Amino acid sequence: MSYRYNGRYTHSYEEYQRWKREGDAEELRQTNSALRSQADSLQSDLQSTRDALRQSHNDVREAARLRARLEQRQQEMEQVQRRMQENQTRFEARTEQRHREMEIEIQHSEERSAERVEQLRHETQQQVASVRREVGDLRQHVDKQLDEVRGELDQTRIHLEGQIGQVKKNLEDEVRRRQQKEKNQGDQAQATLDWIESHRANIGSLDNLGLTVEHIRTDQSLVRLREMLRSGNREMALPLSETALANYQTMHIEVERRIGVMEGVADHIVEAAGKLEKIVGDEQFRLIFKEEAGRFTMAIGWLRDRAQEWRDKHRWTAFEIERDAMVGAANKLLTHAAELQALVPTMVNRLKDREKLLETVGRTAASMYGAVDEFETGYANENDVKSPRLVRAKIGRAHVDTYLDLDGTYRVDGYGFESHGECSQAHQRMEQALAREWHVGESQLDTQNRQTPQIAPASPAESWRQVSSDVERVTDSIKPQPK
């Protein structure tokens, strides 16, 4: 039996399996390289965050926004790290499966099988160890970057606490300046009340922000302060004005912090959507990963809509419920898109290599039967260029279907002949032609003289590797529910 993989032929099943293991390892390197680039890009964003923090003087909202963005960067980098580990685990599982298949093949077909099995085990262990070292080096690189992000988060926490303290001081100083203009404590309390009410009016409703309790507490303290000022003992209103000021400060700072957090997370979601859009915008990516590109495009719209809703409506409770799911989905989709993008050049080469075989397929069919009435070309799944390439040769009522897979394997099926005798003759010609042209050494004659193809086309739901299934699962998880 002969085997073909990425343009190479071999009569050795062992060599064929080795080529496939090497191909898996190379694809793992490509995807991990893309993930490292993603992590490096996140790392380069740190400097811009540092610069922005230095400029966010006395601004709780901006400090909270930047801290939230940094937290999402940390989560994205952690997703990159997890994905590297998952890819390595899948590679090792595939390698182990191929190892078991090879052991069975050796034991069935070779003398000195124990010696060959031991050699195979040694080769497999070496390859797995080599991949583990490579992945380990990359993960150490990402670990170092994560440590820096975590250190930066500690700094932003300290910075945010400092901003909160400074804002409180600024508010108190502004009230004190007003109070100093008044001669007695009653007038000072009135000045504090007027200042709080003027600033309270600018905040608006706090129910969406989930600050109803703070709202009520502040308003109640203002009601008591007004009542005391209307009483005959205005001097006693000053302590109440201090309580009202403290309640307002707490409410004001929490408003700014929550809005800042929502804006920071929304920024991250929109940035992720923009990066996804850039990847999906590549023509070759859309050609090869058509179904996945469609899902990415829908997800981009959903992510942006949700981010805009957070910014416009400031619904804190809904935001807290949705935040982890949306950020997690955006980060996963970005890593999946980067992985698929890394495979595009390899996939393009495989597609080109497969197209070159079409002429050979036609020539082989002609050598079997002479003139061919008609050729049809297509795909097992017309919506997926990665699915087996179909070449159908029509000779009278008979059909010869050839399926060419991307990994270099191919399958030929002849059916629809006038009689069993004609089918047997065609089978002999097919054997000779395939042995001569494609080095195929095995064939099977169906005694029923079938009139329909035996090789079923791939399912329309066919996807490329586990990544495609992951993309489908993630996009389904954030799909808006009908109202």
Rg of the chain on CA atoms, in Å:
34
Per-position b or e across 337-350, b if 16+ CB within 10 A of its CB: bbbbbbbbebbeeb
Question: How far apart (Å, rounded) are the C-alpha atoms in residues 36 and 333?
Answer: 15
Tokens representing residue 453 in the block: 């193809």
For 197, how many CA atoms within 13 A lie in the half-sphere containing its CB? 13
For 135, 242, 336, the CA distances from 196, given in Å and listed in that order, are 58, 11, 51
Question: How far apart (Å, rounded) are the C-alpha atoms in residues 72 and 474?
Answer: 18
Angle at 413 between CA 409 and CA 419, to 5 degrees: 165
| Res. 88: pLDDT tops 80 | yes
The model's confidence at residue 261, banded by pLDDT at 50, 70 and 90, is very high
Helices (H), 231-315: 237-280, 283-288, 290-313
Q: Which residue has the higher pLDDT, 405 or 341?
A: 341
Looking at residue 437, what is its pLDDT? 60
Tokens representing residue 253 in the block: 């700072």
Q: Is 376 helix (H, G, I), strand (E, B) or coil?
A: strand
Greatest mean pLDDT among 63-67, 264-268, 467-471 = 264-268
| Res. 463: pLDDT tops 80 | no
User: 408 phi and psi, to 5 degrees?
Assistant: 100, -10
The answer to whether 351 and 385 are in contact (CB under 8 A) is yes
| Res. 277: pLDDT tops 50 | yes
- In sign, the C-alpha dihedral spanning 394, 398, 401, 402 is negative
Looking at residue 32, what is its pLDDT? 80
Nearest to 41 by CA among 9, 76, 83: 76
| Res. 310: pLDDT tops 90 | yes
Question: How far apart (Å, rounded) are the C-alpha atoms in residues 191 and 181?
Answer: 9
Mean per-residue pLDDT for 175-193? 88
Min mean pLDDT across 105-109, 163-167, 406-410 is at 105-109
Mean per-residue pLDDT for 191-212? 86
Min mean pLDDT across 1-5, 63-67, 385-389, 463-467 is at 1-5
Q: Is 395 helix (H, G, I), strand (E, B) or coil?
A: strand
User: 9 phi and psi, to 5 degrees?
Assistant: -105, 150
Mean of pLDDT over the chain: 81
Instruction: Name the percent of the chain lying above pLDDT 90.
Output: 27
Looking at residue 462, what is its pLDDT? 43
The answer to whether 103 and 123 are in contact (CB under 8 A) is no
The residues spanned by each domain of the chain are 370-459
Which helix (H) or strand (E) segment holds residue 390: the answer is strand 389-395
Looking at residue 190, what is its pLDDT? 92
The model's confidence at residue 461, banded by pLDDT at 50, 70 and 90, is very low
Looking at residue 247, what is its pLDDT? 93
Q: Position of tokens 């343009």?
A: 7
Min mean pLDDT across 1-10, 94-103, 202-211 is at 1-10
| Res. 134: pLDDT tops 60 | yes
Looking at residue 424, what is its pLDDT? 64
- The string of DSSP codes covering 205-254 is --TTTT-HHHHHHHHHHHHHHHHHHHSS-GGGHHHHHHHHHHHHHHHHHH
| Res. 113: pLDDT tops 50 | yes
Looking at residue 430, what is its pLDDT? 61
Q: What is the pLDDT of residues 283-304, one digit of tens each?
A: 999 999 998 999 999 999 999 9
Question: How far apart (Å, rounded) are the C-alpha atoms in residues 60 and 252?
Answer: 10
Mean per-residue pLDDT for 129-145? 81
Length of the chain measured in residues: 483
| Res. 181: pLDDT tops 80 | yes
Nearest to 313 by CA among 259, 253, 256: 259
| Res. 474: pLDDT tops 80 | yes
Nearest to 385 by CA among 355, 414, 358: 355
Mean per-residue pLDDT for 366-383? 74
Looking at residue 1, what is its pLDDT? 46
Q: Is 109 helix (H, G, I), strand (E, B) or coil?
A: helix
Residue 156's DSSP bridge partners are none
Contacts of 398 (CB under 8 A, 6+ apart): 369, 414, 415, 416, 417, 418, 422, 426
Tokens representing residue 151 in the block: 């250190």
